[in-house]
Amino acid sequence: MSLEWEQTVVDAHDPAALAEWWKNALGWVTVEGGAPEDCEIRPAADRLPGLLFGAVPEGKSVKNRLHLDFRPDDRDAEVERLIALGATRADIGQGDQTWVVLADPEGNEFCVLSSRN
């Protein structure tokens, strides 16, 4: 069996703006092509997986059923950097944990984990 993870699809009210935010947050690149209402970013043009932001008419209304976890070298510094880019702290009932839950500009939650050190 040959199965490759191509991309994760994220519903977005404004796909281009949300893709730009995530591109800046991750240091990725925009991939050209696809439908006008879609925008894809990847670690590099020829690297997978990517994040594909697709247009939907409705806004986010409940907690994500799938979210991304990131493990930086310095959790607190990374949280502050992401907040400066426009992320917000999110309370999903996690309580006091070693990770921080943030939300992107459209409200999609993601976690910034503590370093492995």
Residues 6+ apart with CB under 8 A from 63: 92, 109
**14-60 tens-digit pLDDT:** 999 999 999 999 999 999 766 678 999 999 999 999 999 999 988 88
Domain span holding position 85: 66-117
**5-14 tens-digit pLDDT:** 999 999 999 9
Based on the domain organization, do 72 and 105 belong to the same domain? yes
Residues 6+ apart with CB under 8 A from 73: 115
Based on the domain organization, do 27 and 73 belong to the same domain? no
Determine if the peptide bond prior to 36 is cis (ω within 30°).
no
SS3 7: strand
Asked whether 89 and 101 are in contact (CB, 8 A), the reply is: yes
Residue 26 belongs to domain with CATH number: 3.30.720.120
57, 75, 101 - which closes a domain: 57
